[in-house]
Each structure stands twice: as C-alpha cells, then as structure tokens.
Amino acid sequence: MTLSAVSPATGVDGSGLRHLAIIMDGNGRWAKARRLPRVAGHRAGVEAVRRVVEAAPDLGIEILTLYAFSSENWKRPAEEVADLMGLLHHYIRSEIKDLHKNGVKLDFIGDWKALKPDLVRLLEDARVLTGANTKLTLIMALNYGGQDELVRAARGLAVAAAAGRLDPATISIEILAQRLDTAGLPPPDLVLRTSGEMRLSNFLLWQSAYAEFVATDTLWPDFDRAALAEAVAEFATRERRFGGR
C-alpha cells in the first residue's frame, strides 16, 4: 500500500518534529495495578489515543503513527484479541465524524486487509471519508510487523525481477522504500515508547534507522497532552546527525 505524500515542512513549534511514531504500551499493567480486567486498560488506552490526536497538531506534528495491533498480538488469548478488535471497531465508528470534522486524515499500514471483512470495509470507508484532510495524518499500524513488511517488500521486488520488469542490479534504498507500507511518507523523526520499555518490538524497523528514541515510564492510559509536550521538548534538545559526523 502506498500512502499519499506529505510536503516538506517544519513543525510549527520549531522542533522539526513532523512525524511521531508511538509504541503504545502499558495498558495491561495499568489495569492490573487497579485490579481490573485487561480490557479496561485497553479501553483507557483508547481515551489516551483521543487526547494525543487532539494535541498533536498544536505541537507541530503533521503525521502520527500509532502501533495499534501487531502481527504478534495474535498470540494473545483469543478473548483479549476479540476485545481489541471490538475496541478498534468501536473507535472507528464513534470517532470518525469528529476526526473528519477536525481535519484528520486516517490511514493504515500493515496487513490490515487480512482482518475480518466487515472491519476492513469500515476501515476503507474511513480512509475514503477523510482522504482529503490535511490538519493531521493519523496512521494506525494494524496487523503490522516490521519484519513482515520487509518480507512483503522483498517478495514484490523478487516477483518483478522474475517477470523481467526489474533489473536486480538497480535495486536501491529508494526502490525498496517504495515497496514499504509507508511509501510516500517521511520517516519518523521520533519513536516514543510508553511504560518504560526500551525496545522497538518489530515496529518500523526500516523507517526508524535515524529516528530519535524517547522512552517514558508513563503507562499509555495515563499519557496526555502534557506528556506529549514533554516528549516533543526532549526531541528538540537532540542534535540529529544522520551519520554525517
């Protein structure tokens, strides 16, 4: 899938943070600390998504990519997976009008078309409805894994080469990047992970080659505008070299 391109710009806050990618972690621990079922943590996490989507444009963020459901999440108990899919369905249905009204363009990466047909139709409809919006691009990574994405890209190049449409000697970074789910988008400037964990968990492996990384101990359901502003301020202190010196 190729996402539509976003023109170059600098965040209005001066940080240069255009594309923020978030690994939303800590829903389960949040619920456990309150002796609640895990689904309660996921529901609270949806509220955090709402807060961050509302705050992002004010902080100069143009693209917000959220790791909503990984290809490894299918290994979780069936009941929890069903709860997550139900919450996704509810979020899209309940939020899409406000997202559209507020100028948010909604799109998806990952093998999301392998989800249940009724959910796929809902996601497709949301993409079409919001496709022309420009205030914020919200990308949800669904049934996504960075390694799977690279395998799918490599497979596409192999098929093109076998069919004689591509000379393998011409394959470059740019050509492979155009086969990724994020083709047409700038790479993330910052990858943020909540709940204090220090790993990428198979998220945007190629795209994050030169991204800054910030980890916060805040659990995702507690994440809010102030926490987001703090992460943006931390990013603004970084000197990005891109391997140049």
**Dist CA 113 CA 108 (whole Å):** 10
The answer to the question of whether 121 is labelled as a binding residue is: no
Both tokens assigned to 140: 């949800």
Query: Do the annotations mark residue 74 as ligand-binding?
Result: yes
Q: Is 164 labelled as part of a ligand binding site? A: no
Give residue 116's identity as a one-letter amino acid code. Answer: K
Q: Is 76 annotated as a binding residue?
A: yes
Q: Is residue 212 annotated as involved in ligand binding? A: yes
Three-state secondary-structure class, residue 213 = strand
Phi, then psi, of 192 in degrees rounded to 5 = -115, 135
Q: What is the DSSP letter of 69?
A: E
Helix (H) or strand (E) holding 78: helix 78-101
Q: Is 143 one of the annotated binding-site residues?
A: no
Distance CA 206, CA 208 (A): 6
Residue 155 labeled ligand binder: no
Say which of 13, 58, 73, 133 is annotated catalytic.
Answer: 73
73 is catalytic: yes
- Known binding residue 25? Answer is yes
Residues of the binding site: 25-30, 38, 42, 70-72, 74, 76, 193, 199-201, 212
Instruction: Tell me which residues are annotated as active site.
Output: 25, 73
Residues of the binding site for substrate: 26-30, 38, 42, 70-72, 74, 76, 193, 199-201
Residues of the binding site for Mg(2+): 25, 212
